[in-house]
Amino acid sequence: MIVRVQSMSLLGLDAIPIDIEVDIQPKVKEFEIVGMAGQAVKESVRRIEVAIQNSGFHFPGQRIIVNLAPAGIKKMGTLFDLPIALAILSREDVPDDLSSLMVVGELALDGRLRPIPGALPIAWRAREMGFKKILCPAHNVSEMLAVEQIEIIGVETLTEAYAYISKGIRPSSRSRSPSPGSLNRVETDMSHIKGQKLAKRALEIAAAGGHHILMVGPPGTGKTMLARALGGILPPMSYEEAVETSMVYSVAGLLDDKCPIIESRPFRAPHHTASDVSITGGGNRWIKPGEVSLAHHGVLFLDELPLFRSNVLQALRQPMEEKRITVCRAEGSVVFPANFMLVAAMNPSRTHSDIDTWEPREMQQILQRLSGPFLDRIDLQIQVSRPPLQEIQRKTFEESSETIRQRVTEARNIQRKRFQNLGIYHNAQMHHIHIEEFCSLSPATERFLAMVAEKFMLSVRVYDRILKVARTIADLEAKPAIEEKHVAEALQYRVLDRLWVLS
């Protein structure tokens, strides 16, 4: 007799429906899983058998063949433990509504259910397919409750799961409703930072347009503090952004009952010794998102930028430009979202001096290590110098993050209205065709920009990025047209381009 149960498999952020077919015949004892099952799926054979026996059920000493369809897709992970076990237990009396129930879960040897990664995209996909109920581990209920119009049934053990499908007995345990949370809450306020008006202005522009920014300055000037304060001036996340970010964290297995939904923009700060896999994504057993995806709709902060490996920096070029990253492994090719703001910081020299005193040879070595194409993708490059002692001691009022955030939000609203039919949200996402439409200049301003571009030998990519930044500066002033002063201010945030030419 063949028993069918519906389940899901994960490939990146995509949840793929899997039809589990279990055939049990009175022959020599055998338990095999077919249908391009990965190593983790094959290992579930013994785990399922022991879990059934330790839950007080009889495991049939017959031939059991489990087929995971469609057979052309490789299945990875431990999502199929619970549906396979329930199909085996239902071999004699198959419930009528079993085929209409989505079932996922990993079993422990004693029959308890462990939480699974990717619960949120699974629930989202199940609702799209028309499922009305999902049977899952109790620990994943809070996460799945973010998806409306579908009933989530959480169970603690295999015994509870079988009691529900066979007799309709609902489990006594209930998980609480989802509450907004964040794994990366940032507490630094702009008002805590004395001086650094140029750096604060550059961060405001970066936040308003979603631009990448590089801060160059000696140690102790406040670069890290400025980067951590950036989260406080970014606009609030929309519902769509919160769901997209939460899905990435769900697949990475970083959501739990305390933080089932992320509504604060992520702030990720990997160490400079991080490998390219940890930054871009990958893994041995299944493909997991890396730091660039965990920073989706948030901030990726790279301190001591020249100390990062060259292959790591070059791997960032695709997501910085395309806002997504393609991870290719033997298991397959997966596309993860990576719409982050890159905030990088670096010391200008071994002597910890300002840019103005750089040695030409040392300057050239550092710039070549970062590479021109990588620096081209950074919209704002600013110098962060040591503030005068009098400025630090002065008892002056500094603007709070909330005040700056209001201006940033107003500028973002202007951009959202401008791009509402184009599938982009802020100026940093503009392509060349959008720049031609929304960043037109007067003849005098065009001549001014052309003169500067020729003098400093700016690439076409840098030329476009200057226009994007100028468009953001105009939006902060609620000006419909880009003026010459906006372009002039955008040009002063390209400090390394000038040094590249001089070196």
CA–CA distance, 79 with 66 (Å, rounded to integer): 14
pLDDT in tens, 313-366: 999 999 998 899 998 876 678 899 999 999 999 887 666 666 666 666 766 777
pLDDT the model gives residue 461: 84
Mean pLDDT of the chain: 87
Is the pTM value of this prediction over 0.85? yes
pLDDT the model gives residue 352: 60
Three-class SS of residue 440? coil
- How confident is the model over 179-199, as a mean pLDDT? 72
Are 310 and 279 in contact, with CB atoms under 8 Å apart? no
Helix boundaries (H) for 230-379: 239-251, 276-280, 291-294, 310-315, 317-322, 360-370, 372-376
Place of tokens 């000006």: 479
- Which CATH code fits 190-502? 3.40.50.300
CA–CA distance, 9 with 124 (Å, rounded to integer): 13
pLDDT the model gives residue 350: 64
Q: In 3D, which of 339, 338, 342, 213 has the Cα closest to residue 270?
A: 342
pLDDT the model gives residue 19: 94
User: HSE on the CB side for 203, CA within 13 Å?
Assistant: 33
Three-class SS of residue 208? helix
pLDDT the model gives residue 285: 67
Q: For helices 81-89 and 44-54, what crossing angle results, to 10°?
A: 50
pLDDT the model gives residue 212: 96
User: Can you name the residues that pair with 216 across neighbouring β-strands?
Assistant: 346, 383
pLDDT the model gives residue 365: 73
- How confident is the model over 463-470, as a mean pLDDT? 94
pLDDT the model gives residue 313: 92
285 or 335: which leads in pLDDT? 335
User: Can you name the residues that pair with 112 across neighbouring β-strands?
Assistant: 157
pLDDT in tens, 49-92: 999 999 999 999 899 999 999 988 888 889 999 999 999 998 87
Whether omega before 137 lies within 30 degrees of 0, making that bond cis, reads: no
Backbone phi and psi for residue 413, each to the nearest 5 degrees, phi listed first: -65, -40
Kindly give the pairing relationship between strand 267-268 and strand 299-302. Answer: parallel
Residue 424 in this model has a pLDDT that exceeds 90:
no
CA–CA distance, 165 with 138 (Å, rounded to integer): 16
Residue 428 in this model has a pLDDT that exceeds 80:
yes
pLDDT the model gives residue 502: 46
Query: Domain map of the chain by residue range?
Result: 2-167, 190-502
pLDDT in tens, 88-107: 998 877 776 777 899 999 99
CATH class belonging to 2-167: alpha beta
Residue 157 in this model has a pLDDT that exceeds 90:
yes
Backbone phi and psi for residue 382, each to the nearest 5 degrees, phi listed first: -125, 155
pLDDT in tens, 214-234: 998 888 888 999 999 999 999
